């Protein structure tokens, strides 16, 4: 900026007043030009969308942007996600404009109503915002009441009709007149004004009843209409981390992560020590939890339940012999925490709780079935054969089913891994697969060979 004024000062000495005025106009337009953010909201509104909207609004405020235009074309999505976006828009100090580029249905209608101004394309549509469950059925009265008043309070904040906003949610409402700008207006062209019908407004109807402020066919003409034709336009898009969060919070991906997480942990409990299944399962759970926390689906208490359960299970696997009360308790804590993740952080009815339980139960059953199938496949592989009975030889090859370890009876050795109750031990410089007499022995325990029956070597802890 100092450099620019230095140039201006030189021009004052060297050039004409006319040239100076031209240059000052250029500098002024450069310094004081308006900036507009364009933020697209299309497709399904999910829990990965609010972090992107909040970041964009915060960035716009820090950069003193003049206005944000939300380019909306959506059939709706999650109410809790739309509520977070609505709160962020209402809390913004920057002018917010909704450009309904064809449709703003359900959760999209709530987001549109939260903006200071609404413009729609010809043939556009806004409304049909009743809350439904996963099967498409109408939500409980508690959920409908929440959504109805959420829409009404948002419309009231922006000076729009509360009656129309409520009628978009609850088809049991009816009216014949509206008070708009202090005048009583007869309503006879909205089908949803009748009981049993939800309100959805066309572009002309939305403008007539003061829901929308005007119409425009594209962003360029909209900018001309609202006086920002010369503004600097910046289209904001999701960054890579927000794309990842939206991908991980996708219901299909989230259920798969939970299932594989259970599979890994459950399979690890069947194996001594800590290996690949546990690592894969833990990674899946961490990804699921991280995305849920960022998307505000997980609260800190949910995370504490899950991490406490994981820590207890790890202690049971790595420190405490066997799998007993501690392991079962840790597993129960983790299951409860994962169940809480499925409940949205807004008032919900019994059907939402039921859906959360059904979804979690399906994921858990899927994990158990997957573990069973995986185990059935594993026991038929050469890897499993080598793991349980390495170097096995058949009679067809001229060998008996023995390694000649009978001479090791009464010999002393040391546990080379944890014996839970099976594992590896070293006896007379031989590393052999053994089974303890019944106790769970930790790595490094001195043992003695009790008996050898073919490939089965039974040991017990050596007590002196």
Per residue in 390-411, pLDDT (tens digit) is 555 554 544 455 566 777 888 8
Residues of 272-284 as b/e, b for ≥16 C-beta within 10 angstroms? beeeebbebbbeb
- Mean pLDDT lowest among 57-71, 96-110, 202-216, 445-459: 445-459
Please tell me the distance from the alpha carbon of residue 270 to that of residue 161, in angstroms, as a whole number: 62
Please tell me the distance from the alpha carbon of residue 115 to that of residue 99, in angstroms, as a whole number: 10
Model confidence pLDDT, tens digit, residues 33-90: 789 999 999 988 877 788 899 999 999 999 999 999 999 999 888 788 889 999 999 9
What's the whole-number mean pLDDT along residues 276-305? 67
DSSP state of 140: P
Quick check: 151 and 165 in contact, CB under 8 A? yes
Model confidence pLDDT, tens digit, residues 131-176: 765 555 677 777 788 889 999 999 999 999 999 999 999 888 887 8
Please tell me the distance from the alpha carbon of residue 120 to that of residue 218, in angstroms, as a whole number: 9
Model confidence pLDDT, tens digit, residues 355-395: 556 666 666 676 667 656 666 666 666 655 555 555 555 54
Quick check: 256 and 229 in contact, CB under 8 A? no
Please tell me the distance from the alpha carbon of residue 346 to that of residue 78, in angstroms, as a whole number: 11
User: Given 3-state DSSP classes, what are the helix, strand and coil percentages for the chain, each rounded to the nearest 5?
Assistant: 50, 20, 30
Q: What local confidence, expressed as pLDDT, does residue 403 receive? A: 60
Band the pLDDT of 461: cuts 50, 70, 90: confident
Q: What is the pTM of this model?
A: 0.61
What's the whole-number mean pLDDT along residues 306-327? 69
């Amino acid at each position: 900026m100092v450099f620019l004024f230095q140039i201006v000062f030189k021009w004052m000495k060297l050039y004409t007043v006319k040239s100076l005025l031209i240059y000052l106009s250029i500098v002024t337009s450069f310094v004081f030009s308006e900036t507009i953010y364009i933020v697209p909201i299309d497709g399904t509104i999910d829990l990965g969308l609010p972090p992107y909207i909040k970041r964009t609004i915060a960035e716009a405020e820090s950069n003193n942007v003049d206005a944000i235009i939300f380019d909306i074309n959506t059939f709706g999505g999650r109410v809790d996600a739309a509520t977070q976006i609505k709160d962020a828009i209402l809390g913004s100090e920057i002018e917010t404009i909704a450009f309904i580029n064809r449709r703003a249905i359900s959760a999209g209608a709530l987001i549109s109503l939260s903006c200071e101004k609404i413009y729609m394309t010809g043939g556009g549509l806004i409304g049909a915002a009743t809350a439904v469950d996963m099967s498409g059925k109408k939500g409980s009265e508690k959920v409908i009441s929440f959504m109805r008043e959420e829409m009404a309070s948002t419309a009231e904040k922006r000076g729009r009709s509360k009656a129309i906003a409520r009628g978009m949610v609850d088809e049991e409402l009816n009216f014949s007149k509206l008070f708009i700008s202090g005048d009583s207006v007869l309503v006879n062209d909205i089908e949803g004004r009748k009981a049993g019908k939800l309100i959805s407004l066309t572009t002309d109807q939305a403008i007539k009843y003061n829901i929308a402020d005007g119409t425009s066919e594209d962003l360029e003409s909209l900018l001309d209409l609202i006086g920002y034709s010369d503004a600097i336009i910046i289209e904001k898009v999701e960054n890579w981390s927000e794309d990842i969060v939206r991908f991980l919070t996708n219901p299909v991906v989230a259920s798969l992560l939970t299932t594989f997480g259970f599979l890994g942990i459950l399979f690890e409990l069947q194996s001594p020590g800590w290996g690949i299944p546990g690592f894969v399962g833990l990674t899946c759970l961490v990804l699921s939890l991280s995305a849920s926390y960022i998307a505000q689906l997980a609260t800190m208490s949910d995370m504490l339940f899950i991490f406490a359960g994981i820590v207890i299970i790890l202690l049971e696997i790595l420190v405490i012999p066997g799998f007993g009360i501690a392991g079962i308790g840790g597993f129960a804590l983790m299951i409860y925490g994962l169940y809480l993740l499925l409940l949205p952080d807004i008032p919900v009815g019994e059907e939402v709780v039921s859906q959360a339980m059904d979804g979690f139960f399906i994921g858990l059953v899927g994990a158990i079935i997957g573990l069973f199938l995986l185990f059935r496949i594993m026991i038929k592989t050469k890897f499993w054969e080598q793991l349980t009975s390495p170097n096995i030889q058949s009679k067809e090859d001229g060998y008996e089913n023995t390694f000649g370890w009978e001479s090791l009876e009464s010999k002393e050795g040391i546990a080379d891994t944890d014996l839970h109750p099976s594992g590896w031990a070293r006896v007379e410089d031989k590393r052999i697969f053994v089974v303890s007499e019944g106790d769970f022995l930790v790595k490094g325990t001195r043992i003695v060979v009790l008996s050898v029956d073919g490939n089965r070597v039974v040991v017990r802890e050596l007590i002196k």
